[in-house]
Amino acid sequence: MSALTGLTGRKALVTGGSRGIGAATALRLAQDGADVAITYVQGEDAARDVVRKIEATGRRGIAIRADSADADAAAGAVERAADGLGRLDILVNNVGVGVLGPLDGLERADVDRVLAVNVRGVFLATQAAAAQLGRGGRIVTIGTCMTQRVPGPGGTLYAMSKSALIGLTKALARELGDRGITANIVHPGPIDTDMNPADGPSAQAQTALTALGRFGGTDEVAALVAFLAGDEAAYITGAEFTVDGGHAA
């Protein structure tokens, strides 16, 4: 796999890498040859399990406890990852929180938390990573299919926060392009995770919105992230990619 994606010896940080898409991405990058650091807030046991799986591939794994809602922690995690791994070549901005509900039911605390994690935390981690990345560096951010299509009410705050990451990605491509650093964003659709299981109460409605009639797997998102992090994607930047089963079709 490493020959395909060109990740042998690369050093990566996956934020929110203790479960779901983040965990699958961390493991895929390790399988393709990268040493990988992950961040987590809760679930230390899950984070340690991901590290063990990374190490089982023969690569180095590091778990860093950091709450992306804390401005200092968001940037500090990048520096800790670079120090622990020796440098940083790849940043995967995976961490995010979703607060869904009617517009008139959203509290200011909800707004502050979602924007702190999904927007400010991502920006600060990216800013810190940009100071660490050398030529050939990669920034891949995880968005959502709800930036492409919002199928019903209740997603205003979440969709707004993730839409900001599209602008961040396109601007980064321009700002970092002369350094040979690429920035891209991946929009997952309904993905089978513990937060949104394929047999959950809303699964049937979500499945009906896709063209393929099923949930995606975390490994399907991770495969695209790994490609974008590798050598073969060196001429791809400022781009949006969907892994949504046709949700936006």
DSSP letter for 188, please. E
Token readout for 3 is: 């020959």
> Position 226: which residue type?
A
* DSSP string computed for 137-176: -EEEEE--GGGT---STT-HHHHHHHHHHHHHHHHHHHHH
Q: How far is Cα of residue 176 from the mean position of the Cα atoms in its chain? A: 19
The residues annotated as belonging to the active site are 158
Over the range 46-63, which residues count as b (16 or more CB within 10 Å of their CB) and which as e?
bbeebbebbeebebbbbb
Q: In terms of Cα–Cα distance, which of 196, 17, 205 is closest to 98?
A: 196
* DSSP string computed for 27-49: HHHHHTT-EEEEEESS-HHHHHH
123 contact partners, CB below 8 Å, separation of at least 6? 168
Apex 220 CA angle, 215 and 222, nearest 5: 130
Q: How far is Cα of residue 58 from the mean position of the Cα atoms in its chain? A: 23
Q: In terms of Cα–Cα distance, which of 23, 115, 123 is closest to 75?
A: 123
DSSP letter for 217, please. P
Partners of 183 in beta bridges: 139
